[in-house]
């Protein structure tokens, strides 16, 4: 990802997709994963129940996405406490 705004836009899109998935499966836990930026590929965010085996995605934080929070609440919590520490901006 090139800028922090790109990262925040990707997070918002993932959270919107997550909300729809969570509505279909109320008891599932979803987690934030990231793929580090390298000269070969841009960083990326992913919200999923698990990372695929052999995937380049790494768990970004141990807590699952808060099921009781709104998209905006989850966005702000992750934006402030997690995103600044992830190596996902272009190298």
Separation of alpha carbons 82 and 51, rounded Å: 18
pTM of the predicted protein model = 0.90
At 46, list the tokens.
């992913």
Q: According to the model, what pLDDT value does residue 52 have?
A: 75
- Compute the CA torsion angle 87, 49, 31, 40 (nearest 10 deg): 10
What's the CA angle centered on 86, arms 40 and 25, to 5 degrees? 100
Note the pLDDT tens digit of each residue in 31-79: 999 999 888 888 999 999 987 767 889 999 999 999 999 999 999 999 9
Beta-bridge partner residues of 58: 34
Residue 12 or residue 42, greater confidence: 12
Separation of alpha carbons 64 and 4, rounded Å: 23
Q: Please compute the mean of the pLDDT values over residues 4-33 and round it to a whole number.
A: 94
Q: What are the structural domain ranges in the chain?
A: 4-85
């Amino acid at each position: 990802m090139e800028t922090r705004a790109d990262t925040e836009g990707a997070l918002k899109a993932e959270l919107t997709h997550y909300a729809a998935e969570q509505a279909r499966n109320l008891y599932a836990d979803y987690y934030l994963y990231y793929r580090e930026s390298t000269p070969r590929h841009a960083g990326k965010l992913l919200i999923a129940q698990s990372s695929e085996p052999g995937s380049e995605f790494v768990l970004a934080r141990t807590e699952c996405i808060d099921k009781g929070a709104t998209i905006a609440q989850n966005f702000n919590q992750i934006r402030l406490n997690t995103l600044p520490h992830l190596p996902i901006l272009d190298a």
